[in-house]
Amino acid sequence: MLTAEGTPAPTNLATLRELAEVTETEAAGLADALPGAEVLFIWDFFSGALADAWPAADSLRWVHVAAAGVDAILFDELRTSDVVVTNARGVFDAPIAEFVAASVLAHDKLLHESKAQQRAGAWQHREPRRTAGSRALVVGTGGIGRACARLLRALGMEVRGAGRVAREDDADFGTVVVSDDLVAHVGDVDHLILAAPLTDRTRGLVGREVLAALPSHAHLVNVGRGALVDEPALVDALRAGALAAASLDVFAVEPLPADHPFWSMPTVHVSAHMSGDVVGWRDALAGQFADNLRRHLAGEPLANPVDKTSGYVPGS
């Protein structure tokens, strides 16, 4: 099990030890711990240590990542190997959707501005926007994106999705447009929600052309990965008034550097990659791995197998 200094251990570690022989290690000791190991549980889910320790993985059959995104741990040798990779699909769907809905409502109801006025001791009447009837485009049609779509629809919003393949009559999105052609589909968007995995195809997906195509009142919400967005282009667009605001939970570099302009921009709302980390999230992740470990020991198919070429679970 790959852990990190300062990160709480899984709460079910005793249960895991009843199921299998467990060796805990941090990144520096992974190469020494891997020989003979059949399963690697990556609890330190942003670690890229496996790539460096790969020559020592002489018996590895399965890697489980305690995260929805697996971009941090994939590398060419792992992709082309017979090692199965699984992820934490499902754990974060509903919590992240709630965070997205809260971000949308906070923007439309001017809650950030109201708090600033309160701190300034200023009474200033303003007119918030209706959320019902507004338009959202959710980029990413996996479990998280679908949970976002369902919750936003419950608020009365018009929701479309953006994914690899265009289609109509989708159960959650209605219409799904091709994400490679976002420029053609964001001209009437009030809220652009990014919930896609980070892959070679999605890196920098929201660049200068997409930002320029958004209406000036548009609000960007990113709960996917920071590198989905060209951050310098976003800074320029916000400063120029090309879009109204951005609620960002993920960033190209984390923690967000102290000198990054996002910190001081009144139209940017920063949170520390926490949209899915509700109270009890570590328990849910630990329990999910234990369930999958039981499947592995019973010779049953594992839940949430990742397509290592695309970087996500097929159908998600």
- pLDDT tens profile 18-59: 999 999 999 999 999 999 999 999 999 889 999 999 999 999
Can 254 be counted among the known catalytic residues?
yes
C-alpha 200/C-alpha 14 separation (Å) is: 39
273 catalytic residue (yes or no): yes
Name the active-site residue from 225, 269, 282, 296: 225
Write down the catalytic residue from 130, 254, 294, 300.
254
Catalytic site includes residue 5: no
Residue 124: what are its φ and ψ, rounded to 5°?
A: -135, 110
Q: What is the pLDDT along the chain (316 residues), one digit of tens a residue?
A: 999 988 999 999 999 999 999 999 999 999 999 999 999 999 998 899 999 999 999 999 999 999 999 999 999 999 999 999 999 999 999 999 999 999 999 999 999 999 999 999 999 999 999 999 999 999 999 999 999 999 999 999 999 999 999 999 999 999 999 999 999 999 999 999 999 999 999 999 999 999 999 999 999 999 999 999 999 999 999 999 999 999 999 999 999 999 999 999 999 999 999 999 999 999 999 999 999 999 999 999 999 999 999 999 987 5
Burial of 22 (0-12, 13-18, 19+ CB in 10 A): middle
Looking at domain 93-270, what is its CATH homologous superfamily?
NAD(P)-binding Rossmann-like Domain (3.40.50.720)
Q: By three-state DSSP, how is residue 140 classified?
A: coil
- Model confidence pLDDT, tens digit, residues 261-305: 999 999 999 999 999 999 999 999 999 999 999 999 999 999 999
> Cα–Cα distance between 172 and 191 in angstroms, integer?
17
pLDDT for 315? 74
Q: Do domains 13-90+279-297 and 93-270 have the same CATH topology?
A: yes
pTM: 0.95
Domain ranges (residues) in the chain: 13-90+279-297, 93-270
Neighbours of 14 (CB within 10 A): 9
Quote the CA–CA distance of 316 and 314 in Å, as a whole number.
Answer: 5
With beta carbons less than 8 A apart as the criterion, state whether 87 and 292 touch.
no
> Taking CA 236 as the corner, what is the angle to CA 231 and CA 239, rounded to the nearest 5 degrees?
125
Domain covering 13-90+279-297: architecture: 3-Layer(aba) Sandwich (3.40)
Q: Render the burial of 208-240: b for 16+ CB within 10 Å, e for the rest.
A: eebbebbbeebbbbbbbbbbbbbbebbbebbee
Q: Which of 129, 135, 164, 273 is catalytic?
A: 273
Of the candidates 122, 102, 131, the residue with the CA atom closest to the CA atom of residue 275? 102
